[in-house]
Amino acid sequence: MNDIILMKQGEIILKGQNKREFERKLISNIKRRFEPFGKFNIYSLQSTIYVEPQGKCDMEATLEAAQTIFGVLSVTRAAACKKDKDEILKTAIDYLKDELNKAKTFKVESKRADKRFPMSSIELSQYVGGELHEKFTHLIPDMHNPEFTVHIEVRDLAAYVHGPALVGAGGLPIGTGGKMLTLLSGGIDSPVASYMIAKRGVQLIPIHFYSFPYTSVQAKEKVEALANILQKYCGKMRVIMIPFTHIQEEIRNNCPEGLMTVIMRRFMMRIAERVANEHGCTALVTGDNLGQVASQTAEALSVSEECVTLPVFRPLIAYDKKEIIDIARKIGTFETSIQPFEDCCTVFTPQKPRTKPKLHEVLDAESNLNIEDLISQAIIS
């Protein structure tokens, strides 16, 4: 009996003539992700990725990691055997006996991708199900709502027996959607936005603005911790840290208080675009959510991005806070995000920020600043 992991492809199957390119990238990502857990033979057949351990491997860790790889619809750990009804039955008894002993009701579902197999899917299910019922006498067949389902797949190379599949990460393989720069704060929203855009196959470069000494070293470490959590989904990321204190002080000293936030945001966008261009990124990504705070009204967002030419993607624009928090909990960033360390946006918040800033007023206020020098100093630092 050969232990194996089966990873079913998601949207890749819709890619037509480009499918092989997406598959190659997915397999490359899988190999890199599984490298710490042992040596595997990894290949693709019939829209399924096969992960065969070569020698001793940590299969539990591999299975857990498999669920975080974008491009995979479902994951299951299975036993491979000969395409013979009695071998399939024996494998089901040996491989799934613990689950079958625990369950009260069951059924068998078979899929016959190899049409040369002499039994139909229904015939195979009936045969294995009947024999399992005799072997595990406590089990009651239930075709509609079973406690446990035995899955059998008869494929080109072998037959595979397994229990219910685990949900995969979905989306598209990292690296197939280009490269973008994501503005990563220490809050709840931006890590979720980064996760969601990465799910579309985007390779991310995170940038963070900090305001020492108004923000602490722990605030920077918090952002780095968030990036480390995201790496299991997004691949390796190194956070680009940009000092922002001097810019914020200049804005505070030379601009109307009500426009401080939107002008700070415009500086962030300008700097982010410069860095994005240096790294070959095609767009900027933010965690903005329409109407959540004063700087995220339609008018404020429009003025904030007027100063850049790269597209600005906002994956969370129509989500409510509960939906965002639910995703943050799911991907493991929530507990880190709520650690009580200030970020640069909160320490310079005006008492009455303008929710509907006018572009001509913002441009007039910015005329009091040496924009190019401030940007250059921040990037060089």
The pLDDT tens digits of the residues spanning 302-347 come to 999 999 999 999 999 999 999 999 999 999 999 999 988 766 566 6
Mean pLDDT of 131-135: 96
Q: What phi and psi, each to the nearest 5 degrees, are found at residue 314?
A: -130, 85
Percent of the residues in the chain that have a pLDDT greater than 70, as a whole number: 97
Looking at per-residue confidence, does 132 or 340 come out higher? 132
Whether residue 267 is predicted with pLDDT greater than 60 in this model: the reply is yes
| Beta pairing, strands 312-313 & 284-285 | parallel
- Tokens representing 241 are 């840290």
Asked if 249 and 256 touch (Cβ cutoff 8 Å), the reply is no
In this prediction, residue 40 carries a pLDDT of 96
- C-alpha–C-alpha distance, residues 299 and 194, integer Å: 23
In this prediction, residue 115 carries a pLDDT of 92
- C-alpha–C-alpha distance, residues 322 and 272, integer Å: 28
In this prediction, residue 294 carries a pLDDT of 75
Asked if 113 and 155 touch (Cβ cutoff 8 Å), the reply is yes
Whether residue 38 is predicted with pLDDT greater than 70 in this model: the reply is yes
The set of residues, in sequence order, having a beta carbon less than 8 Å from that of 72 and lying 6+ positions away, is 7, 8, 9, 10, 26, 49, 66, 168, 169, 170
pLDDT for 71-119, tens place per residue? Answer: 999 999 999 999 999 999 999 999 999 999 999 999 999 999 999 999 9
In this prediction, residue 345 carries a pLDDT of 61
Distance, first Cα to last Cα, the chain: 59
Mind listing the domains of the chain with CATH numbers?
A: 1-82+164-170 (3.30.70.1510), 87-157 (3.30.2130.30), 179-380 (3.40.50.620)
pLDDT for 40-81, tens place per residue? Answer: 999 999 889 999 999 999 999 999 999 999 999 999 999 999
- C-alpha–C-alpha distance, residues 110 and 107, integer Å: 10
Rounded to the nearest integer, the mean pLDDT of the chain is 94
Question: What length is written for the chain?
Answer: 381
Radius of gyration (Cα) for the chain, nearest Å?
26
Percent of the residues in the chain that have a pLDDT greater than 90, as a whole number: 86
Asked if 149 and 109 touch (Cβ cutoff 8 Å), the reply is yes
Which of 158, 165, 163 is closest to 80 using CA atoms? Answer: 158
Looking at per-residue confidence, does 15 or 226 come out higher? 226
The set of residues, in sequence order, having a beta carbon less than 8 Å from that of 255 and lying 6+ positions away, is 263, 365, 366, 368, 369
In this prediction, residue 200 carries a pLDDT of 97
pLDDT for 346-380, tens place per residue? Answer: 666 777 888 899 999 999 999 999 999 999 999 98
